[in-house]
Structure 1
């Protein structure tokens, strides 16, 4: 039996801990254990000086053959859809991978009360989903300071932005909002 080894998966995603578990941690752990290659033994989030999530990590204990397991992890996370710029780290060697681009749609949380009374953010998100079609999907969200940020992942930031831009610029709930590409 191969010697137990450890590696880190640094995910270029700003998801909250519960989302990290649902999106990445639990599915990867299940897949690794099913193939008897290892297990996810921990996870965390790196915060910046403003207490915003910069990225999240998974700690993996490998019980299978190292190179096979590393490739398995990359393949499984790419199936899930993991942001470009994610890294697999073992013995200070980083392998960059990922197949999704991230679009952050930032909504102001300080609009006039009438705007919130007349509009529902869920309607806006449903319209984004419709407009994005196969080009993107909502991944997660977070609230920071005076804004709510909703993250979408897809194969092309430019396609996602183009798909929602007209609606975004004309919707009252998007006033003072921004669309950013996360890297």
Structure 2
């Protein structure tokens, strides 16, 4: 093979590899945002087996991004009508003298119909928060049917809300935290 052809093929291959270097966007485009006090719940502190305890998650479609004056329209950015999140549900163990995560069977979780992506994992449960009818915020109400007695609590620390992965769209990761005034008392007792 002629040296000019070899050099030409080599240069062409290098240019072709450069086109797939992913420097023009695509994979890995993630925007991290923060929200506070988006979770609320009415905690009666004492429930009976068979009762359902609910919590709400609500946040605006327009979120502040550090370093920018204008808020990010997370729906326009991601085209996502649902964001997924997970939460921990814990029971107090007298043997261990501490709260420990417990599994929640899917049949004991009540979520709004628009929350399509429900899943469970060891020590927690995940669902999604959906764009409301006015299309100005994402909201959901999730309930847990209480089927056994004991001392329980939700653990809403370190909640991340994620847009679905889509190679064509920016992914948004939202970290939820509580302000000092917004911290929730999520501990409650369930009686037989």
TM-score of the pair, normalised by structure 1: 0.31
Q: Going by fraction, where is helix more abundant, 1 or 2? A: 1
- Which has the larger Rg? 2
Higher relative contact order (CA 8 A, sep 6+): 2
> What is the TM-score of this pair, normalised by structure 2?
0.30
Q: Which structure carries more strand by proportion?
A: 2
